[in-house]
Chains A and B, each alone.
Chain A
Amino acid sequence: MAEQPRRSAAYRIAFVYSAAFALAILLLGIAVYFAADAEFRRARDRAISDEVTALLHEAAGGSLIAEVRERETAKATDSFGYALFDPQGRRIAGSLDTVRPEPGFGMIVFRDPEEGRDTARAKTVELPDGNRLVVAIDSETVEDINATILMLFGAAFLVVLVIGVAGALVLGSYLRRRLGAISSTARGIVGGNLDQRVPVGTHRDEFDEVALALNTMLDRIAGLMDNLRQVSSDVAHDLRTPLLRLRNQLEQVGTVEGAAAKAVEQGDELLKLFSAILRITEVEGGGLAHGFAPVDLSALAEDVGESFLPAVIDSGRSLSTRSVPGVSVLGDRELLAQALANLLDNAIVHTPPGTQITLTLETSDGQARLIVADDGPGVSPADRTRLTQRFFRSEASRTTPGNGLGLSLVAAVAAAHGGDIAIGSEPGGLRVTLTLPRVTRNS
């Protein structure tokens, strides 16, 4: 478990993400700064050029000196500074206190009456009479704006960094908390507490989906563990009894007539019991699905019904089969046949002669239902819920043949096919419904 933020993937991801975001802000700031600076300088130079043009235009035909003076006293314009130098370099007009610069654009140093030495951007024009006109503008404006831009982006960078780090910490701890719940559950299970489940939130987000998937997996594992425990306890309790009976029978061989034949019979029963347990274990163990193929359930129901009919009649009961055509499921024909056979076996063995047994195949919204019902005495509600338990035999059926595994196999077969079984009593007697998902034509 990553206790330090350094070793936590959650923190690392959040930090890297916010650092990348801050870096993007920084790059944007630098780009804006340089682009704005260049644009301001161009605009400033254009303003100076315009002022020079306007000044010369207005002074044309008059005195340039007077025009400069007029402009300086009006101070209406954007704090331009003016200076007019004669060919000898003496300032003959304007208050811009500087030395005569060379023609063209350039930075000049001047003396501000209030602030002392200062720099300004200036355009110097050589006039036809040999004088030079200098129009300058203080560079403070551009620097102020640049400083503002720098400050804004610097602040944004810091804010992003602070929010990013805070967000990273919150996000990191959130991720650690969600993932921590999963890993602590896993550790609990490794530690032996198989009942633990990953807490599922209410958002139905990715974590909840993972938690649900894990819980489903854990349920399946727990089911398999139960299965294993069940088999062990079956072996311990329910298989000892017939073995003891066989042993006692063998002791009588030689003294009681027919004991040997009876012992062989009991041995056969015991072997049948083992086959039944192994079959159930095989079906419950899963892994059969890859061998599944479409099975024509309609034909199977007809087939099994027809196969059982003479035996049912011989036993003094009646059997009617009602099937709808064209119903298919994905499965194992043999297992489905065995499940159906077990249901019919039960209906014959556990009812009195004269009982009417029905085998019905019906369908509804994507499901096929095989129903074996009888109008016999039925099973008490309390016993009904226990019918699918292994080796369960109700008090009323203690003396009838069977091993109490028939319905367990039916339930296992249903589960292996993605279906289930329901045991009811309507309209009287017993009614076992085996529900299976249908194969639709386009799947």
Chain B
Amino acid sequence: MHILLAEDDDETAGFIERGLDELGHATTRVSTGDGAVRAATTTAFDLVILDRMLPGLEGLEVLRRLRAASVRVPVLVLTALGGIADRVAGLDAGADDYLVKPFALAELAARINALMRRVPVDVVTRYEVGDMTLDILRREVTRSGRTIHLQPREFALLEQLMRHAGRIVTRTMFLELVWGFHFDPQTNIVESHLSRLRTKLREGFADDPIETVRGAGYRMRPDG
């Protein structure tokens, strides 16, 4: 996939470029805001990674111009500003996701994957992955046709995993998507909820449909 990276700091840009290369993505890098607007309006990218602090045109202004020019490409905003108001401003300007620097490469990769295959959420009411189904409207989960009773939180966790089936969902993504928390509690609340979910899904079956990706997060096995 072709990704536009707008980042003025060479070291950070190099770090991201190497990471994207390892993941098999082609990267075009610009280091100014004006350059980002020019590149994104003339070339069709699959994704834009946009730093908020760019020389020339500020990141959010770049985003506004792109949206005003009807450029619908998914945009992931990177920022060193982790404040509460900053995040709201970023999402208001039309960002699809928001990642506070510094971040682990695994986190960035997971976010990129999530953005690239994003399907409008309201259209999907039912997920099927391998031998598992999840019906959002009926709040029902089955495995090989057998109904599994889940707590609301466990259901929400599974919904995110199935939505991103085959891709990694990180702990901070769970915190944001399931809990609405943009902070990381010292207590690992994600892990204990997930382990309960996994126990319920495993009961009576030989394998675990969810796998732990060390140092990155969790993934639903696409084949079930």
Q: Quick one: which of A308, A313, A406 has the most chain B CB within 10 A? A: A308
Nearest CB of chain B from residue A286's CB, rounded to whole Å: 12
Q: Per a CB cutoff under 8 Å, which of A282, A310, A337 touches B181?
A: A337
Cross-chain contact B187 with A341 (CB below 8 angstroms): yes
Interface 9-mer from A115-123, A147-155, A342-350, A368-376: A342-350
Cross-chain contact B192 with A345 (CB below 8 angstroms): no
How far does the alpha carbon of A401 sit from the alpha carbon of B83 in the complex, in Å? 25
Is B153 close to A, CB under 8 A? yes
* Residues on the B chain within 8 Å of A271, using CB: 102
Cross-chain contact A338 with B181 (CB below 8 angstroms): yes
* Residues on the B chain within 8 Å of A313, using CB: 192
Is B179 close to A, CB under 8 A? yes
How far does the alpha carbon of A333 sit from the alpha carbon of B186 in the complex, in Å? 18
Dominant secondary structure of chain A at its interface with chain B: helix
Q: Per a CB cutoff under 8 Å, which of B102, B184, B192 touches A314?
A: B192
Nearest CB of chain B from residue A109's CB, rounded to whole Å: 98
Cross-chain contact B185 with A332 (CB below 8 angstroms): no
Cross-chain contact A282 with B84 (CB below 8 angstroms): yes
* Residues on the A chain within 8 Å of B83, using CB: 278, 282
* Residues on the A chain within 8 Å of B82, using CB: 275, 278-279
Is A288 close to B, CB under 8 A? yes
Is A306 close to B, CB under 8 A? yes
* Residues on the B chain within 8 Å of A348, using CB: 187
Cross-chain contact A341 with B196 (CB below 8 angstroms): no
* Residues on the A chain within 8 Å of B196, using CB: 310
Cross-chain contact A334 with B187 (CB below 8 angstroms): no
Cross-chain contact A307 with B153 (CB below 8 angstroms): yes
How far does the alpha carbon of A120 sit from the alpha carbon of B60 in the complex, in Å? 101
* Residues on the A chain within 8 Å of B195, using CB: 310, 314
Cross-chain contact B183 with A341 (CB below 8 angstroms): yes
Cross-chain contact A311 with B102 (CB below 8 angstroms): no
Cross-chain contact B193 with A344 (CB below 8 angstroms): no
* Residues on the B chain within 8 Å of A272, using CB: 184
Q: A321-359 interface mask toward B, CB cutoff 8 Å, 1 = contact, 0 = none?
A: 000000000001111011001101100110000000000
* Residues on the A chain within 8 Å of B182, using CB: 334
22 A-B pairs, CB-CB below 8 angstroms? Answer: A278-B83, A279-B82, A282-B84, A288-B84, A288-B85, A291-B84, A291-B85, A291-B88, A303-B179, A306-B153, A310-B189, A311-B188, A311-B191, A313-B192, A333-B180, A337-B179, A337-B181, A338-B183, A341-B181, A342-B186, A401-B186, A402-B186
Mark B residues whose CB is within 8 Å of A.
Answer: 82-85, 88, 102, 153, 179-189, 191-193, 195-196
